[in-house]
Amino acid sequence: MERTSNGYLLSCEVVHKIRGRIRIKSRALKYLGNMKQNIEKQLEEVRYINSVKISNITGTIVIYFTDITVTEENLIALLQNTLNVYLVEIYKNEKIENNKQIVIERKLQEESPEEIIKKITAAGGLLAYNIFKKVPAEPMTGLKKFFNFNTLSIISLAAPVIKNGIGSLIRNKRPNADTLSSSAIISSLLLGKEKTALTIMILEEFAELLTVYTMKKTRGAIKDMLSVGENFVWKQIDTNNIKKVSIDEIQKGDKIVVQTGEKISVDGVIIKGEAFIDQSSITGEYMPVTKKAGESVFAGTIIKNGNITIEAEKVGDERTVSRIIKLVEDANFNKAQIQNYADTFSAQLIPLNFLLAGIVYVATKNIQKAMSMLVIDYSCGIRLSTAAAFSAAINTAAKNGILIKGSNYIEELSKADTIIFDKTGTITEGKPSVQTIKVLDKSIKENTMLAYAAAAEETSSHPLAVAILNETKDRGIEIPLHEENKIVLARGIETVVDGKVIRVGSKKFMEENGIPTEKNHEEVKVILGRGEILIYISRDNKLIGLLGVTDPPRENIKKTINRLRGQGIDEIILLTGDLEQQAHTIASRMAIDSYESELLPEDKAKNILTLQSRGGKVIMIGDGINDAPALSYANIGIALGSTRTDVAMEAADVTITKDDPLLVPEVIGLSKKTISTIKENFAMAIGVNSFALVLGATGILPAIYSSVIHNLSTILVVGNSLKLLKYKLKN
């Protein structure tokens, strides 16, 4: 029997059960990683459980228990509740595992451009030697044909290709692209065609050089753009002394002095001074911002004007910029389905070349024509059709402040048909402000009422409190002296000013303290009707005023939603923890298809799983810690804006560093263009190589020229992919 909870991942099935022992199977158990021991320990702490053993391989758990009255439903519920705590990590591990693929080819970009250039130079030197050397009167035969300087040098240069080609036959029981190349090279040497062998080697290395250089250059450009670039910093030793030290010596808690024109090298908090800082490398915002004591700064940002002292909070790889760089560098390891298909398809085509070579030789008895079949393979061009395109797309996105963790997410973006938005900080700015002020006691002035409210909220960091305090500050209202503030969780806050008890909070908070609220029904209706958050203010036992707080929509969010529909998104949904009235108001204003309100983080994740179970390809857009489960569960999770949390960034598949929602439809457009480019590349690689095969089989093209055409297809594919580097994102 099967028990399900939280969608498919935590589904459980009882495999076997006897008295005091049960074996349960769950897909989640395969992806525990280093959490396995913690979970076993937690379960063993339950009073009626003796021991627990989890198998990651089989995805099963064996539980030995003493209380025979415990039902399998109880044990499944216990297991699911325990796993639920680690649900996001489990799901992330599943994604990582699913993206792992068996490598059947040499890894693209495994060699540096410098190494490849050395090979081309050496092969070119040998080719020149063979062109200009004197032909012996009698050709070499027997062992002399191979055991001579010239042939041994060629074999030495071709050794990595030959080794990998033979290795694929041994390890994978099938040939790869290097098997074809090594066969052509060895055949050329057997026939005494050293020039042909060297030409084939040079052409293939040149094509690989072009690919490696392109990919390295594009990734390097992003790394350079984000690089801190400072090897030394000024460390404060004491109040009056600073010392120049290596950035590697800096520890958490150290104080760093940074001046005008310098890059900040650590993530930290300003403890002294004020500066005008360019944060474009991190946030994407081109306008510098003023930062002063108590505010956070990031490594990689530049001080345009000012001098500050920073207390280091994150150093080395913990810095925001370091994590961003790692995201870009790791992106190519997460392969798209179409990329895996290309790798598999190209590998399956390789035996075709050997078959064609055999057929051509049997039909023509001409080894040269047969060799033409070996120097032309679909594999290289087809693999590069995807690899080069995805690499270019990832780097184009990064240059525009969009960090994509892998090519698989580009493909998923192109397939999406449903988008889910969080509300606060995503659709809205996440910066509530006082919109409506209604004084109910005519003996009290508006500013006096605001002063009372600010006194109660002065020590609170709640967004609504911040909105009230900002309004007070903007009006130049002085906050009166007051007693210690008392917070009533999920209700409100109270204090005492001039002997009067001031309460600020919800309707329920007022009613629980015996303060009547019924007389103001119409005023309340108007405020709630506008979708504002309603705040009650009382003095002693009398209601004295109402505040309406609103969180305005982001700039361009309505335009974003319209563009998304133009990108083929069929359904746009709002999922929020806010009250129903606020959700309804924003959904109506933005013309969103549907919404759900008052949701917990796990509720958002469940909604996504439900949509996926119906076949939907879901994008989740959020910014906060509460969005992390939903971001992880979606086909694509997008963390949006400079206010995003670290947790959201880690959980998301795509991070948009700019505060511009228009980049969401633009990155979807880039993904669709990338997939279109890959299909064009497929057509070119298959078409050109098929043409060369026909010409080679008929004897029109010698092996050397067949190799030229083959490598031309590789160059064409890479060149077509490079167009994505020039793709313009309209934001």
Q: Is 578 a catalytic residue?
A: no
φ, ψ of residue 261 to 5 degrees: the values are 90, -10
Coil, strand, or helix at residue 193? Answer: coil
Coil, strand, or helix at residue 496? Answer: strand
Whether residue 371 contacts residue 357, with contact meaning beta carbons closer than 8 Å, is answered with: yes
- Stated as kind and residue range, the H or E segment containing 131 is helix 113-132
What does each C-alpha distance from 528 to 281, 422, 461, 565 come to in angstroms?
Answer: 41, 21, 24, 30
Contacts of residue 275, defined as CB under 8 A and 6 or more positions apart, other chains included, come to: 258, 260, 290, 291, 292, 303, 304, 305, 306, 307, 308
Q: Give dist(CA 546, CA 544) in Å, integer.
A: 7
Q: Give dist(CA 501, CA 646) in Å, integer.
A: 40
Q: Give dist(CA 536, CA 133) in Å, integer.
A: 98
Q: Give dist(CA 215, CA 637) in Å, integer.
A: 26
- Stated as kind and residue range, the H or E segment containing 650 is helix 646-651
Q: Give dist(CA 702, CA 690) in Å, integer.
A: 15
Whether residue 652 contacts residue 631, with contact meaning beta carbons closer than 8 Å, is answered with: yes
Q: What is the token pair recorded at 32?
A: 């525990």
Give the residue among 419, 426, 428 at the shortest CA–CA distance from 608: 419
Q: Give dist(CA 225, CA 302) in Å, integer.
A: 12
Q: Give dist(CA 214, CA 396) in Å, integer.
A: 13
Q: What is the token pair recorded at 602?
A: 């796990």
DSSP secondary structure string for all residues of 382-428: HHHHHHHHHHHHHHHHHHTTEEE--HHHHHHHHH--EEEE-IIIIIB
Indicate which residue of 422, 551, 578, 623 is catalytic. Answer: 422
Q: Give dist(CA 244, CA 257) in Å, integer.
A: 10
Active-site residue numbers?
A: 422
